[in-house]
Amino acid sequence: AHRKAKMAERRLRLAIDAMPQGVVFLDPDGRYILWNQRYSEIYTKSADLFVPGARMQDTLRIGVERGDYPEAAGREEEWIAERLAKMQNPGEPHEQVLSDGRWIMIEERRLEDGSIIGLRVDVTEMKAKEESFRLLFQNNPIPMFLYDEETNRIAAANDSACEHYGYRAADLLGMPIQELHAADTMRLGATSPRHGPQDGSWKHRKADGSQIEVAVYSRSMMHEGRPSILLAAIDITERRRSEARLVHMARHDALTNLPNRVLFRERVEAILKRDSEAPFAILLFDLDEFKGVNDTLGHSIGDKLLQHVARRIQQCLPQGALAARLGGDEFAIILDRPDVEEVVTPLVERIVQDVRLPFDIEGHQILIGASVGISVAPRDGSDPDRLLKNADLALYAAKGRGRGVHQFFEPSMDRHLQERRNLEFELRGAISRGELCVHYQPLVTLETGKIAGCEALVRWTHPKRGQIPPGVFIPVAEDTGLIAAIGQFVLRQACQDAVLWPSEAKVAVNLSPIQFKSCNVLETVLQALAASGLPPHRLELEITEALLLEKDSSVLSTLNSLRALGVGLSMDDFGTGYSSLSYLRNFPFTKIKIDQSFVRDLRASANSQAIVQAILSLGASFGMKVIAEGVEHAEDAAYLSALGCQEGQGYYFSKPKPAAEIFPEAYQGQAVARGGAAVTPINDSAERIRTDGVKPPLDRRSARA
Ligand code: C2E
Ligand code: MG
Ligand code: MG
């Protein structure tokens, strides 16, 4: 029997030694009976005390005295008593820390005979993990919740969660997780984050009832022995707001907050997609003379004006209308309603009328008008590009008719555009084919009737279409950049011709503002002078105010350099633009050309007379010569002369013609003038300029014809 008992004990020992946990058996008095290898390893420090028959409470006491149990420090007796009590009435497992920092989980059971079986597990590693999780959880700046997967109640919430949601930690503990959800997330039926919104973005509710949008991340984990869910909630309310702001900004104009071109187009596309036969109108608005406001009063007033205009337009909008700012001073309206044909005209008239009322901006009374082009679908097109283009063509036509005009698209406008394209195409080769030439119109000294010089005016003889007026092709050349080559050609030709003329005769050449932008005017002029040998003081350049509108200091410095060379500068078409006195003061002009419109009705209109007189006295006080354009009648020449105007130009004296017809002596022996200009033989003395004062015009007949 003894052998049998020995065998059993050995088998038991083998069995418990094979267990991964530490195992100990105590008799009902708490004396050691048996323990396994692992048990001794766990308590390395106290292993010497484990002797069969020794009482655990004694080994505990020795261990406490030696400081093996840091938790007992300072309350030794109490600790021992608690420990023994746990052993007498075993319940939940508990943990114990040893002096080497390891954590041991203790589980004890009292068996029927009163003996005790104890299990020990080294949980140091798990504790470390738990601790690092605790730190990660508690100190995380992202609000985090841990809740029980079965009860859905919150088991832990970190500081950030409490702070962000505005709860005290105690309020959150035990609270059903669903209570965080805002109403509409609840309505989705999504009570568990497992079944939340597809994109993981939830609406949560804070303690104060306010709503936030959160991106939720969750994962399952064990927490204190229970399956739980860790939930991190990142507040993306602000991000969403700024995303929404960005989306808004991409489709709206920052200045007026009206929809921009992108949104405008999208709307047009949406209407067409809905019904490709839908009747709707596109109205394009362009402010008249807005550039002038910007240039004279500054951009900040210009911006405010645009905002005011936007508001006025919006106030006029009926149902089914959307206003947009397409850029600059360009506004647009989509009028989308079945009765569009009836309402569009009254609407345009109302807006044009409203915009025309004075604006009061920072003490400035500003008057501005709007021109409008209109295209109506499906009549004028059934795709956005065509409708916009046709509205634009109509706008262009409206502008051509004057200010404050509205114009519906007409198919002929498209033909005009087509013609313009053809013109551009043909103009490209015109110089090299020798189709361009330069004619000259005398500038006559009124007092003596002598030719003071000539204005060079470009002429285009198209092989099939004949003469094409510069008023038609110069704008095309300006739009396409061809003006650079044309301008250079005219300048060279004019200098070459003028060299042949009597030395007192100047030559005036028109320069387009575009030339100042796209090419080096100074260099071109220098080259033309050098190539011809013309003295700079015999060259005069005519420029219009459009050039000076650009607040560009390089223009001023170019003009100053030209002036320093001795080249004369005329302000062309004076009186039609801003006629700004500051231009006369700030730019080195030597001559003012009174626009022909004032000369034309000089005798009929007292206003024109007043303007002409004003310009003359301006010229006198600035020390500039004044020349009147468009003099067609002897009476006008006499009147201007009497007022003190030095020079005149017009059909009364001579139409523009080839140089050889004006200065035949200079071209004697040259059968054909350069530049392809065909010279008609001059045999009629009446075709020659008179040099004996302002008397019968030489080509009066043709002027009258
Ligand atoms: P502009 O510089 O004001 O030239 C005067 C225009 O008035 C010329 O028209 C001339 O033929 C016309 N004219 C002259 N006397 C009379 C008159 O008594 N009655 C009337 N009704 N008209 C008169 P044109 O040659 O058709 O030129 C028109 C415009 O085209 C010019 O106006 C000028 O701005 C531009 N232009 C002409 N040649 C050139 C050029 O070589 N370069 C540039 N950049 N522009 C040019
Ligand atoms: Mg001119
Ligand atoms: Mg002119």
Q: Is 651 in the pocket of ligand 1 (CB under 6 A)?
A: yes
CB pairs under 8 A, 24+ apart, for 476-482? 476/420, 476/423, 476/424, 476/427, 477/427, 477/512, 478/512, 478/514, 479/424, 480/424, 480/427, 481/514, 481/518, 482/424, 482/427, 482/428
Closest atom, ligand 1, to C-alpha of 477: 44
What are the b/e assignments for 448-474, b being 16+ CB within 10 Å? Answer: ebbbbbbbbbbbbbeeeeeebebeebb
pLDDT over threshold 70, residue 697:
no
Q: What is the pLDDT of residue 689?
A: 44
103 C-beta closer than 6 A to ligand 1: no
Ligand 3 centroid, distance to 466 Cα (angstroms): 24
CB 19 within 8 A of CB 118: no
Asked if residue 656 has its Cβ within 6 Å of ligand 1, the reply is: yes
What is the average per-residue pLDDT within 133-159? 92
Question: For ligand 1, atom 20, which residue shows the shortest CA distance?
Answer: 630
Residue ranges with CB less than 5 Å from ion ligand 2: 510, 542, 572
Q: Could you give the CA distance from residue 575 to residue 592 in angstroms, rounded to a whole number?
A: 10
Q: Is 699 in the pocket of ligand 1 (CB under 6 A)?
A: no
Instruction: Please indicate whether residue 381, judged by its CB atom, sits closer than 6 Å to ligand 1.
Output: no
What's the pLDDT band for 466 if we cut at 50, 70, 90? very high
Closest residue by Cα to atom 45, ligand 1, is 510
Strand segments (E) across 87-200: 94-97, 103-110, 116-122, 144-148, 154-157
Give 571-622 as a DSSP string.
EEEETSS---HHHHHHS--SEEEE-HHHHHTTTT-HHHHHHHHHHHHHHHHH
Does the C-beta of 512 come closer than 6 Å to ligand 1? yes
Please indicate whether residue 457, judged by its CB atom, sits closer than 6 Å to ligand 1.
Answer: yes
Query: Which ligand 1 atom lies nearest to the CA of residue 544?
Result: 34
Structure tokens at 256: 């007026």
| End-to-end Cα separation, the chain, in angstroms | 154
The ligand whose atoms approach the alpha carbon of 573 most closely is: 3
| 638-681 pLDDT tens trace | 999 999 999 999 999 999 999 999 999 998 876 544 433 332 33
- Given its phi and psi angles, is residue 686 left (phi above 0), alpha (psi -120 to 50 degrees) or beta? alpha
Q: Which ligand 1 atom lies nearest to the CA of residue 631?
A: 18
Averaged pLDDT of the chain: 88
* pLDDT reading at 694 higher than 60: no
Q: In angstroms, what is the span from residue 555 Cα to ligand 1's centroid?
A: 23
Is the C-beta atom of 469 inside 6 A of ligand 1? yes
**pLDDT value at position 617?**
94
pLDDT tens readout for residues 252-310: 999 999 999 999 999 999 999 999 888 999 999 999 888 888 888 889 999 999 999 99
Output the CA 510–ligand 2 centroid distance in Å: 5
CA-based nearest residue to 410, from 382, 384, 381 = 381
Which range (130-139, 257-266, 527-536, 673-682) has the least confidence? 673-682
DSSP state of 520: -
Q: Between vectors from CA 399 to CA 398 and to CA 400, what angle results, nearest 5°?
A: 90
Residue 686 pLDDT level (bands cut at 50, 70, 90): very low
Which residue has tokens 């006491």?
61
Question: Is 698 within 8 Å of 687 (Cβ atoms)?
Answer: yes
pLDDT tens for residues 164-202?
999 999 999 999 988 888 765 554 444 454 555 556 678
* pLDDT band at 699; cut points 50, 70, 90: very low
**Phi-psi region for residue 320, left (φ > 0), alpha (ψ -120 to 50) or beta?**
left
pLDDT of residue 552: 72
Please tell me the distance from the alpha carbon of residue 272 to that of residue 174, in angstroms, as a whole number: 57
The pLDDT tens digits for 383-431 are 999 999 999 999 988 987 777 889 999 998 888 888 888 889 999 989 8
Comparing 446 with 3, the larger pLDDT belongs to 446
Instruction: pLDDT band for 551, please (50, 70, 90 cuts).
Output: low
Q: Pick the ligand that lies closest to the CA of residue 599.
A: 1
Question: Residue 275: helix, strand or coil by DSSP?
Answer: coil
The region that residue 256 occupies, defined by phi over 0 for left and psi between -120 and 50 for alpha, beta otherwise, is alpha
pLDDT digits (tens, 9 = 90+) for 601-618: 888 889 999 999 999 999
Per-residue pLDDT at 196: 52
SS3 category, 376: strand
* 429's tokens: 């080769």
Nearest ligand 1 atom to alpha carbon 512: 44
Name every residue whose Cβ is closer than 8 Å to that of residue 322 and which is 6 or more positions away in sequence.
259, 264, 267, 333, 334, 336
Cα of 469 vs centre of ligand 3, distance in Å, is: 14
Q: Which residue, by CA, sits nearest to atom 4 of ligand 1?
A: 457
Q: Is 484 in the pocket of ligand 1 (CB under 6 A)?
A: no
φ, ψ (nearest 5 deg) of residue 349 = -60, -40
* Residue 627 CB less than 6 A away from ligand 1: no
Would you give the DSSP letter of residue 320?
Answer: T
Cβ–ligand 1 distance for 478 under 6 Å, the answer no
Rounded Cα–Cα distance for residues 258 and 172 (Å): 46
- 30 CB under 6 A from ligand 1? no
Instruction: Pick the more confident residue, 418 or 377.
Output: 377
CA 269 to centroid of chain Cα atoms: 22
Task: Tell the residue nearest (CA) to atom 17 of ligand 1.
Answer: 630
**List of long-range contacts for 100-107, beta carbons under 8 Å, 24+ apart:** 100/44, 100/45, 102/42, 103/127, 104/42
Is the C-beta atom of 596 inside 6 A of ligand 1?
yes
302 lines ligand 1 (CB under 6 A): no
Spatial distance between the Cα atoms of 563 and 569, rounded to a whole number of angstroms: 7
- Closest residue by Cα to atom 22, ligand 1, is 630
Query: Residue 487 CA: which ligand 1 atom is closest?
Result: 42
Residue 469's pLDDT is: 93
**What pLDDT sits at residue 703?**
36
Please tell me the predicted confidence (pLDDT) of residue 126: 86
Tell me, what amino acid is at 131? E
Question: Of 15-19, 57-61, 559-563, where does the model show the most confidence?
Answer: 559-563
Share of the chain above pLDDT 70, in %: 92
Would you say 19 and 36 are in contact if contact means Cβ atoms under 8 Å apart?
yes
Q: Is the CB of 108 under 6 A from ligand 1?
A: no
Report the C-alpha gap between 675 and 494 in whole angstroms.
10
Q: Check residue 684 and give its pLDDT.
A: 37
Ligand 1 atom closest to the Cα of residue 595 is: 3
Tell me the CA–centroid distance for residue 457 and ligand 1, in Å: 6
What pLDDT is recorded for position 195? 52
